[in-house]
Structure 1
Amino acid sequence: MRGLNLDHVSAFTEVVRLGSFSAAASHLNLTQPAISQQIGQLEKRLGVHLLERVARRATPTAAGSELLDHAARINGAVASLLDGLARFTSGEVGRVRLGTGATAAIFRLPPMLRSLRRKLPELEITIATGNTSDVVKAVQDNALDIGLVTLPAGGRGLEVTPVLDDEFVAVTARDGVALPQRVTPAVMASRPVIMFEPGGQTRVIADQWFFNGGVELKPKMALGSVEAIKRLVEAGLGCAILPAVAVREAGDRANLVMRPLSPRLYRKLAIVIRRDKVLHLGLRETIRALKSLPKAP
Structure 2
Amino acid sequence: MRELNLDRLRTLVAIVDLGSFAAAARALHLAPPTVSLHISELESRIGATLLLRQRGRVRPSGVGETLVARARQLLADAEQALEEVKRQVQGLEGRVRLGASTGAIAYLLPQALEMVGQSHPGIDVQVMVLTSEETLARLSGGTLDIGLVALPQAAVDGLSVKPWRRDPVMAFVPAGWDAPRTVTPQWLAAQPLILNAPNTRLSRLTAEWFAAAGEHPAARIQLNFNDAVKSLVAAGYGATLLPHEVGQREMGVPPADPRIAMRPLKPKLWRPLGIAYRAGEPEPATQYMLDALWALKQA
TM range (shorter): 0.5 to 0.7
Distance in 2 (alpha carbons) for counterparts of 1:243 and 1:86: 41
Partner amino acid for 1:271?
I
Distance in 2 (alpha carbons) for counterparts of 1:181 and 1:86: 57
Aligned counterpart, 1:147: 147
The structure-2 alpha-carbon separation of the partners of 1:195 and 1:146, relative to structure 1 and needing over 3 Å to count, comes to: same
Distance in 1 (alpha carbons) for counterparts of 2:105 and 2:159: 22
Aligned counterpart, 1:166: 167
TM-score (norm. length: structure 1): 0.66
- The runs of 5 or more residues in structure 2 that have no matched partner are 1-82
CA displacement, residues 91-114 of structure 1 (integer Å, 9 cap, x when unaligned): 542211111111101111001110
CA displacement, residues 41-96 of structure 1 (integer Å, 9 cap, x when unaligned): xxxxxxxxxxxxxxxxxxxxxxxxxxxxxxxxxxxxxxxxxxxx999814542211
Partner amino acid for 1:128?
M
Distance in 2 (alpha carbons) for counterparts of 1:151 and 1:285: 23
Distance in 1 (alpha carbons) for counterparts of 2:147 and 2:220: 32
Aligned counterpart, 1:74: none
TM-score (norm. length: structure 2): 0.66
Does 1:258 find its partner at 2:271?
Answer: no
The structure-2 alpha-carbon separation of the partners of 1:99 and 1:239, relative to structure 1 and needing over 3 Å to count, comes to: same
Within 5 A, what are the aligned runs for 1:1-297?
A: 89-93=87-91, 94-153=94-153, 154-175=155-176, 177-245=177-245, 249-276=253-280, 278-293=281-296, 295=298
Bigger drift between 217-226 and 238-247 goes to 238-247
Partner amino acid for 2:261?
V
CA displacement, residues 204-239 of structure 1 (integer Å, 9 cap, x when unaligned): 111111111221111121112111111110010111
CA displacement, residues 167-226 of structure 1 (integer Å, 9 cap, x when unaligned): 110011212x33200011111101111101110111111111111122111112111211
CA displacement, residues 98-131 of structure 1 (integer Å, 9 cap, x when unaligned): 1111110111100111011111111111011111
CA displacement, residues 259-288 of structure 1 (integer Å, 9 cap, x when unaligned): 000111111110111114x41222112111
Distance in 2 (alpha carbons) for counterparts of 1:163 and 1:97: 18
Distance in 2 (alpha carbons) for counterparts of 1:110 and 1:141: 26
Provide the secondary structure at the position in 1 that maps to 2:144: coil
Provide the secondary structure at the position in 1 that maps to 2:179: coil
How far 1:294 moved relative to its partner?
Answer: 5.2
Contact kept? 2:136, 2:276, Cα under 8 Å:
yes
Contact kept? 1:174, 1:256, Cα under 8 Å:
yes
Distance in 2 (alpha carbons) for counterparts of 1:96 and 1:250: 28
Partner amino acid for 1:254?
P
Aligned counterpart, 2:60: none
Provide the secondary structure at the position in 1 that maps to 2:256: helix
Distance in 1 (alpha carbons) for counterparts of 2:133 and 2:230: 25
Bigger drift between 90-99 and 123-132 goes to 90-99
Distance in 1 (alpha carbons) for counterparts of 2:237 and 2:258: 17
Partner amino acid for 1:286?
M
How far 1:295 moved relative to its partner?
Answer: 3.5
Distance in 2 (alpha carbons) for counterparts of 1:250 and 1:157: 39
Partner amino acid for 2:294?
K
Which of structures 1 and 2 has the bigger CA Rg? 2
Partner amino acid for 1:89?
R
Distance in 1 (alpha carbons) for counterparts of 2:174 and 2:85: 49
Partner amino acid for 1:142?
G
- The runs of 5 or more residues in structure 1 that have no matched partner are 1-84
Contact kept? 1:192, 1:219, Cα under 8 Å:
yes
Distance in 2 (alpha carbons) for counterparts of 1:230 and 1:253: 9
Contact kept? 1:100, 1:128, Cα under 8 Å:
yes
